[in-house]
Amino acid sequence: MARKDTINALIRRGLDEEVAVTLAEAGMLLGDVKSATLDDLEEVLGDKKKAKDVRETIGKRTKKRKKGRKKTKKKKEKKIFEVPKKFSSLEGTARELEKLAEEKGYELPRRVLEDAANMIEREDISKDDYPLILKLIKEKYYDRKVDPKESIGVVSAQSIGEPGTQMTMKTFHFAGVAEIGVTQGLPRMIEIVDARKVPSTPMMIVHLDDDYKKDRDKAKEVSSKLEVTRLIDLADVDIDLTSMKVAIRPDKKKMKEMNVELGDISSRLKKTRSVKGDVEVTGGNIYISPTEPKYSLLHNVVEEAKSTKIKGLKGVKRAILRDLGDEYVIYTEGSNLEGVLRVEGVDITNTLSNSPYEIYNVLGVEAARNSLIREAEETLDEQGLEVDTRHIMLVADMMTNEGDLKAIGRHGVSGKKTSVLARAAFEITSTHLLRAAIMGEVDKLDGVAENIIVGQPITQGTGAVEVKYNPKKALGE
Amino acid sequence: MMNKGITKRIGSIKFAYMSPKEIRKLSATKIITPDTYDDDGFPIEMGLMDTHLGVIEPGLRCKTCGGRVDQCSGHFGHIELAMPVIHVGYVKEIKKLLRSSCSECGRVLMEDEERDHYIEELEQLKKIGGDPLDQRALAKEISKAARKNKVCPHCKSEQRKIMLDKPTTFREDNTKLTPKEVRARLERIPDKDLIPLGLNPEVVRPEWMVLSVLLVPPVTVRPSITLESGDRSEDDLTHKLVDILRINQRLRENRDVGSPQLIVEDLLDLLQYHVNTYFDNQTSGIPPARHRSGRTLKTLIQRLKGKEGRFRQNLSGKRVNFSSRTVISPDPWLSINQVGVPKKAARELTVPIRVTPENIDRIKEMVARGPNPTERGKYLPGANYIFRPDGRRIRVTETNAENVAEKIEVGFTVERGLKEGDIVLFNRQPSLHRMSMMAHEVKIVPGKTFRLNLAVCPPYNADFDGDEMNLHVLQSEEARAEAKVIMRVQENILSPRFGGPIIGATQDHISGLFFLTHDNPLFSRREVVSIFSNLETENFPPSVEVEGEKMWYGKDIFSHFLPDDLNLEFRSSICETCKECKEKECPEDAYVSIEDGQLKTGTIDERGIGAFQGEIIDKIARDMGTDKAREFIDKITTISLGVITLRGFTTSIKDEDVPRAAMRQIDEVLDKAAGKVKRLAEEYVEGNLEQMPGRTVEETLEVRAMQELGKARDNAGKIASKYLGLGNNVVVMARTGARASMLNLSQMAAALGQQAIRGERPSRGYEERTLSHFKKGSLGAEARGFVKSSYKEGLQPVEYFFHSMAGREGLVDTAVRTSRSGYMQRRLIHAMEDLMVYDDGSVKNTDDTVIQFEFGEDGIDPMRSKSGKAVDMDDIVTEFKATKRRGGS
């Protein structure tokens, strides 16, 4: 079943069925395919060209979405207010259709126009038939609109909640890079709707600037700047009992690999306040003599020195460089989006974290909304569950509606409800009722839960309309 | 019963605090004696069961309103407390008030201008739509600001620090404040100063938070029950009130005779304790009050709170009449729109019918037949009750039926049993989505179970291993109309979750259609008649002449049920996805092509008509109407069962037989993999294993071993499946998507493969080994849960152990998952239930806050979309071509 779903998912993304099946048969899930390198794909497909195609089609969507984020980010960085352009305008056939639609007064979304343009080009339809095509499209489009009064909130909530029972509890899945495990399935979904400050497995995908992304060494350089390197990774730290000092003997090879100078280490140690003592450099080694020659102090210093951060970004536990064929991309375990955006060589328009809350803090609500949608969709896709994007969008919009990120639950959206009864029916019943009494709160009874509680019809769907019949008037009185 | 429909609605509910004055006014009687009943078993006057508070025993009359048990809903009483006590629910509020108001003059600890400024700010907040929670947050800030002033700006008296000893004792610099003192201080706070502190002086005075009168709920709220032994057992609330009354009386006596201060204080504390637990028996810091048996008492807040509390148990969900529940069983001859209701249930469940001049004769006739009429053994609906306009109810029995029928007049209401064609709601829990409750038409069936068509199992997620379902009978014309138009099964074929069908063929339906259409077999006249015999009336599809005999092609039979204007092309489930698709020339007959309602090529299987994936159902339901879709599903599943009954379909252990040579090959593959893992382990021990970047050596070993063994299982499966073709029934099921998968098959035929616990090879158990059967430190395939045997061969004891470990993990996983996902869904629904699409297409909540300007950015209903796409361009092309052909514009 899962395999079949993967195949379907791949086909939906525009892959050849045959290719999709090969990929799925190789045991790859959608997430794997998305993040697989060119080489991996080539190995599975046995064809370089196909591998490239796959990368292009599957990778495309992510890139598109990131484009939207570009403007926000630049604005922050440069601190120059730039009115973001709303749309890149349509081109070619699509533009012609757009014009025609405007003339006729049809309101059609871009996506539909683009699809139509593609279809027209594929089917080679002559210009004279554009009005007919457009009319057919319009009829279908208007036909498929949501009905007014539809209680769409419940439908969306159910659409996301129902597949929850089918998701796995298995928390770990090595999505993306084989080395980084990411929470998946139901726990991840819960994490997303909870709008956790820090997800259980934070990670980042760092894209690089043009100058860096093709060159392995340069990319490596950036990657080493991200990863937190502690002293213990570079040197042996011991107690030299004869001189009552802490001896640090750096590993030359590792230092070169990580591009660290002896001076860097010593200055770092000097700056670190928790390492108490004088730092001196002699003959390629560093010695720290504690303020008092006490054994316990020495021990203390050793421990502190070992864990001293020499370089890297706080929170980034590991950075792994991956060759995606046409570019190098860095995957990190642990995240620090703000820090990463300041690193030279990072393509700030294309880099993201898997934590919507972090994105909210760094890039703002709109970006956070996109991140919520992206993460929720990815989680569902990974499990091979089909859920319409519109439902996920509604949840994301609900969570970001007030300009900040609110969790779905008593501390977020639900706690904010105006109705006392609705809040009391959800959680912490007594507190809400006691408070309502002293504040003189008024429940207007226009939501669903309140009306059910008092036992009258709700005001959505067929309950939102009423027929008024005045017998006197009808009789002409 | 004479429900004329709701003509009025409750507009709003205002919450307020009840003042002592109001309590006394409301009270029917003052309660003083802690005793309940006298020796004769009659309620004692001014006792807790006083008949002024309402009655719970039949025969007695309420002294306040004169009503009997079911007429009087009870009246409140009151207890005058000897000394005031603090209300537990408001201690925090009292603390806040004491701290931010002056201990001498009672004014809020800030200048008037500052106060007015804050009041203004609060007003502003209310105006811009700040909800009560925001207001509270601001009030909290204000009180914090007030607390900073250590000297009252009004009377210049110095403020001392007020502490709260949980749960209800206040101290001011180590001197205890009695509730009386607290009340005195609260009394001093002027109304206007309450506003910035978050209290609404229109509904509450702070001194009311110190109780001097206690409201006693009516007896109907706390009924006592008489046990079989004749003993009376009182409600928890009554118990608690008895405690309060006893201590109250002692306290009063002691205070009046001028007992030592210490004793009075102790008694006051005790009274406070009882009042606290009367409100909330779970306040932290005090031991919960217990029943004699040791059970904690369920007091006021416990009655409201939580899943079993009043709100969630009785107010958000209500028990209903006119419903029934029983086991379900399958009935393939029903339409998907129908539900089979057993006779017994149909007689008991009723529909109210208003008697009008038009139907009075028919109704009289029906009532005259009595409650259990039959016609030559067949079920006929009978009448159970008759309601007169004055509300009197008459039960119809065999004996009085004819008499009652005579009395019927226009304006009466008759409750008749179900008859075929009635609309009812059918539901299976958990109701995870709206398709968990759909409207069906009644079909009366023998037996004692509800029947449903197999194609509606997917939306209900039902099977027949003992599942029960609920059935509700609609009681009003409006409800029936609504249910018929929007809740009927055929209206729910497409799921709003993903815009595809959720109702469709499953299991044998799919296998059946495979045999009907795969490679287009020929059927003889006898066979076709047999297949068609289950349909009511049907013309035969066109036949062909073969060797002088009239024969029918399978694809023609299938095409017979397709709408004439259907054009579709897609790939079947059995499609092998070859490198180069030959489309219509597919040697496997896996490319489905339907032209003008004729199945030209291809096999019909899960991708064609299955639930979740069926392309044909999808197309028909979306574009040709739900009636057509229902008809199609009904007929095609019936036909399919005809085919599979004709052919026969079974599986046995033989289906997993693989030639000996292949078995050897499989063994070889598995041994090789085991050997490889062994070598990896050796390398690891020697320290020669090349580390993967970012992984420890141990992790590297595990990952590589998993990879090797995974590959081995796949290869073994591949070898086995080479010998298993479509001639094998299990393969047919797996490939067509009817049931199971090729993986299941290879686990039966070849090998089970690696068992995983938490996604890893099992590693825990004994010291340095999983089981005592292995050497210490062994890391080989067998020692870490690799199962070489297949289900058919049978598992070795050790393998069986590992297999059951993985099996147990699966069980635990399911149990945890259901509860977690259930809570997530509850939260989601609570957060979003008020969202609605408005006439302009925007999505707003009840505050009229716009959540989305257009739902999903394009206003498309996901249910009507084609897997999320607003407009399917292929459809447009087809339609365009059709219009062109017709020469239209």
DSSP state of B288: P
CA dist B249 and B232 (Å) reads 24
Name the nearest CA neighbour of B617 among B697, B504, B451: B504
Q: What is the C-alpha separation between B96 and B146, in angstroms, rounded?
A: 10
Does one domain contain both A292 and A423?
Answer: no
Contact: B316, A453; criterion CB under 8 Å: yes
If one compares B302 and B40, the residue with the highest pLDDT of the two is: B302
B617 pLDDT more than 80: yes
Q: Does A240 share its domain with A307?
A: yes
- State residue B282's pLDDT score: 86
- Quickly state the pLDDT bin for A426 (edges 50, 70, 90): confident
* A126 close contact with B: CB closer than 8 A: no
- Tokens 């709160």 appear where? A441
CB B423 within 8 A of CB B476: no
How far is it, in rounded angstroms, from Cα A285 to Cα B274? 73
Give the amino acid at A358.
Answer: E
Tell me: do A430 and A459 sit in the same domain: yes
User: What mean pLDDT comes out for the span B56-85?
Assistant: 86
Query: How far is the C-alpha of B810 from the C-alpha of B818, rounded, in Å?
Result: 12
pLDDT of B7 reads 67
- Nearest residue to A164 (alpha-carbon basis) of B645, B432, B74, B275: B432
Same domain, A254 and A264: yes
Query: Does A320 lie in the same domain as A209?
Result: yes
Which is nearest to A33 in space by CA: A50, A15, A58, A56? A58
Picking from A66, A93, A99, A72, the residue whose alpha carbon sits closest to that of residue A84 is: A72
CA distance B138 to B118: 9
The answer to whether position A109 is within a domain reads: yes
Task: Considering chain B, tell me which residue range(s) the CATH 1.10.274.100 domain(s) occupy.
Answer: 508-567+579-646
Contact present, A352 and A66 (Cβ < 8 Å): yes
The CA distance from B400 to B412, in Å, is 17
Task: List, edge to edge, every strand of the sheet that includes B413-417.
Answer: B350-354, B413-417, B383-387, B393-395
A12 touches chain B (CB under 8 A): yes
Q: Which chain B positions have a beta carbon within 8 Å of A123's beta carbon?
A: 877
Q: What is the dihedral of CA B528, B533, B537, B540, to 10 degrees?
A: 0
Mean pLDDT of chain B: 88
User: Residue B70 to residues A236, B62, B220, B225, B606: CA-CA distances in angstroms?
Assistant: 86, 11, 10, 16, 58
Question: Are residue A233 and residue A306 in the same domain, yes or no?
Answer: yes
Predicted confidence band of residue A68 (pLDDT cuts 50, 70, 90)? very low
Looking at the fold, whether A211 and A337 belong to one and the same domain comes out as: yes
The pLDDT of residue B483 is above 90: yes
Residues of A in contact with B569 (CB under 8 A): none
Element at B459 (helix H, strand E): helix B457-460
Q: Flag if A401 and B497 touch (Cβ within 8 Å).
A: no
Specify the range with the lowest mean pLDDT, choosing from A161-175, A313-327, B566-580, B609-623: A161-175
Question: What mean pLDDT comes out for the span B388-417?
Answer: 89
Peptide bond between residue B167 and the one before it cis (omega within 30 degrees of 0): yes
Question: How far apart, in whole angstroms, are the C-alpha atoms of residue B745 and residue B752?
Answer: 10
Superfamily, domain B508-567+579-646: RNA polymerase Rpb1, domain 3 (1.10.274.100)
pLDDT of residue A173 exceeding 60, the answer is: no
Domains of chain A: total:
6
Of these ranges, A72-76, A322-326, A467-471, B354-358, the one predicted with the greatest mean pLDDT is B354-358
Q: What is the pLDDT of residues A209-221, one digit of tens each?
A: 888 888 888 888 8
Q: What is the pTM of this model?
A: 0.86
Write the Ramachandran bin of B657: left for phi over 0, alpha for psi from -120 to 50, otherwise beta.
Answer: beta
Which A residues in the span 36-55 are in contact with B, Cβ-Cβ below 8 Å?
Answer: none
**Domain extent at residue A358:** 152-201+354-400
Cis check for the bond before B430: say yes or no (omega within 30 of 0).
Answer: yes
CB contact under 8 A, B856 and A18: no
- How many angstroms separate the CA atoms of A135 and A119, rounded? 15
Residue-wise pLDDT for A5-52, tens only, equals 677 767 767 677 777 777 766 667 666 666 666 766 776 777 777 777
CATH 2.40.40.20 fits B323-501, yes or no: yes
Residue B577 with chain A: CB contacts under 8 Å: 7, 17-18, 20-22
**B461 CA to chain A: closest CA distance, Å?**
11
pLDDT at B825: 92
Question: How confident is the model over A364-404, as pLDDT tens digits?
Answer: 999 999 999 999 998 898 888 889 999 999 999 999 998 88
CB contact under 8 A, B827 and A193: yes
pLDDT band of residue A116 (cuts 50, 70, 90) is confident
**Per-residue model confidence (pLDDT) at position A295:** 76
pLDDT of residue A57: 67
Enter the DSSP assignment of A462. G
Mean pLDDT of chain A: 80
> Span A303-332, mean pLDDT?
81
Residue A409 lies in a domain: no
Least confident residue range of A364-378, B191-205, B687-701: B687-701
Per-residue confidence (pLDDT) for residue A72, from 0 to 100: 45
Return the pLDDT at B851: 93
Contact B831 A394 (CB under 8 A): no
Residue A273 and residue A254 in one domain: yes
ipTM: 0.90
- CA-to-CA distance for B159 and B770, rounded, in angstroms? 69
| Probe site for chain B from A156, A192, A321, A420 (most B CB atoms < 10 A) | A156
pLDDT tens for residues B800-829? 999 999 999 989 988 888 899 999 999 999
CB contact under 8 A, B883 and A137: no
Is A164's Cβ below 8 Å from some Cβ in B? Answer: yes
Residue B110 has pLDDT above 50, yes or no: yes
Contact A160 B828 (CB under 8 A): yes
The answer on A222 and A329 residing in a single domain is yes
A217 with A323, same domain: the answer is yes
Task: Judge whether A463 is closer than 8 Å to chain B, CB to CB.
Answer: no
Distance between CA atoms of residues B589 and B574, nearest Å: 9
CB within 8 Å: A157 and B829: yes
pLDDT at A2: 58
Q: Which of A111, A150, A178 lies closest to B837 in CB terms?
A: A150
**Domain containing residue A167: CATH number:** 1.10.1790.20
| Secondary structure of residue B252 in the 3-state scheme | helix
pLDDT bracket for residue B1 (50, 70, 90)? very low
What digits encode the pLDDT tens for the residues B146-191?
Answer: 888 888 888 888 888 888 887 888 888 888 888 888 898 898 888 8
Looking at domain B653-811, what is its CATH homologous superfamily?
Answer: RNA polymerase Rpb1 funnel domain (1.10.132.30)
* Closest residue on chain B to A400 (Cα): B851
| Residues A33 and A72 reside in one and the same domain | yes
Please indicate, yes or no, whether residues A269 and A381 belong to a single structural domain of this protein: no
Nearest chain A residue to B9, by CA: A456
pLDDT exceeds 60 at position B212: yes
Residue B635 and residue B509 in contact, taking contact as beta carbons nearer than 8 Å: no
Q: Which pLDDT score is estimated for B398?
A: 87
Cβ–Cβ gap A434/B861 under 8 Å: no
**What's the pLDDT score for residue A250?**
79
The Cα of B519 is separated from the nearest Cα of chain A by a number of Å equal to 22
Question: Does the pLDDT value for residue B425 go beyond 70?
Answer: yes
A127 interfacial to chain B (CB closer than 8 Å): no
Q: Which two tokens stand for residue B567?
A: 């054009």
Q: Which residue of A has its CA nearest to B835?
A: A153
